[in-house]
Amino acid sequence: MSDTNAIGLHEASASQLADKLNALLANYQVFYMNVRGYHWNIKGREFFELHAKFEEFYTDLLTKIDEVAERILTLGHQPIHAYSDYVATASIQEEKNVHDGATCVRGVLTGYQTLIELQREILSLASDADDEGTAAQVGDYIREQEKTVWMLGAYLD
């Protein structure tokens, strides 16, 4: 019996990666809902600008949620899919009743920083496992999100 999965990765490595990807999935889901809340509830002079920007962010997050879940499946594992599991697993906390522009932008900034940190851990694990598919996926996410972090920081300055 082989110790590799359908795509040729060692099952122990695939399992470890799937666990980390499920943690990433949970963080993406909670972050997505936070950004949806910012979009819905933003008030003030920056409403039009931030309302549109938050929609751009949550649309991208939704795409990545699907991609992460499908990567877990590709590794031969099951993505978590209950919101209670997302809340219990994620390090990003739910935010409620936030409507101030600067507070919302800081929430987006902190969310992306959290995702980048977790994705760097996954990138390291994927590299060690010779998992080019996962490494490429999270590497692309990191590159995009580092630029977003820079822009959000510039906005807040």
pLDDT per residue, tens digit, the chain (157 aa), is 579 999 999 999 999 999 999 999 999 999 999 999 999 999 999 999 999 999 999 999 999 999 999 999 999 999 999 999 999 999 999 999 999 999 999 999 999 999 999 999 999 999 999 999 999 999 999 999 999 999 999 999 9
CA distances from 25 to 7, 100, 123, 151 (A): 21, 27, 15, 24
Q: How far apart are CA 137 and CA 139, in angstroms?
A: 5
Block residue for tokens 């507070």: 103
Q: What is the dihedral of CA 124, 128, 129, 130, to 10 degrees?
A: 100
- Note if the pTM is more than 0.85: yes
Residue 96, Ramachandran bin (φ over 0: left; ψ between -120 and 50: alpha; else beta): beta
DSSP string for residues in 10-36: BHHHHHHHHHHHHHHHHHHHHHHHHHH
**Which pLDDT score is estimated for 2?**
79
Block residue for tokens 């962010």: 57
